[in-house]
Amino acid sequence: MRDTDQTEMNQSASRLTYPHKRITAIAYFLFMATGIYSLSCAPAILLAERLGWSQSFFHLTQLVAAILCAPTAACFLWNTRGLGFSWARCFAFAACALTSLWLLFVLYVILRYSKS
């Protein structure tokens, strides 16, 4: 009976020392999945254009993926800020920076052509 009490205490202590572990894992999965999808949409759009297919599906889902990628990468970076160097943090920084720049470019284009 005493061993189970000790095990329960260890499990609750580990949850208290790193409570954002589940959020970090979800953010990691989301920014990797949406980042890969956003990158893979570019050649799919070029292929659809070459074959004469509609590209609207790819444009819309790429925009949604980019909108999800930037904040989840930032959330991952925020939750792992005390940890040392890792490739996941480098990818998260690159994903956050590049998708943010892409979204700012899309916003610029929309605002630029809405005034004309």
Question: In 10 A of CB 17, how many CB atoms?
Answer: 8
Q: Digits of tens for pLDDT over the chain (116 positions)?
A: 455 555 544 454 444 345 567 788 888 888 889 989 988 988 999 999 999 898 889 889 998 999 999 999 998 888 888 777 788 888 889 988 989 998 899 899 988 888 76
The alpha carbon torsion through 32, 35, 38, 39 (nearest 10 deg) reads -100
Whole-structure pTM value: 0.71
Residue 101's domain comprises 2-114
DSSP characters over 50-66? HHT---HHHHHHHHHHH
Question: In 10 A of CB 99, how many CB atoms?
Answer: 25
Residue reference for tokens 């943090």: 89
Domain count, the chain: 1
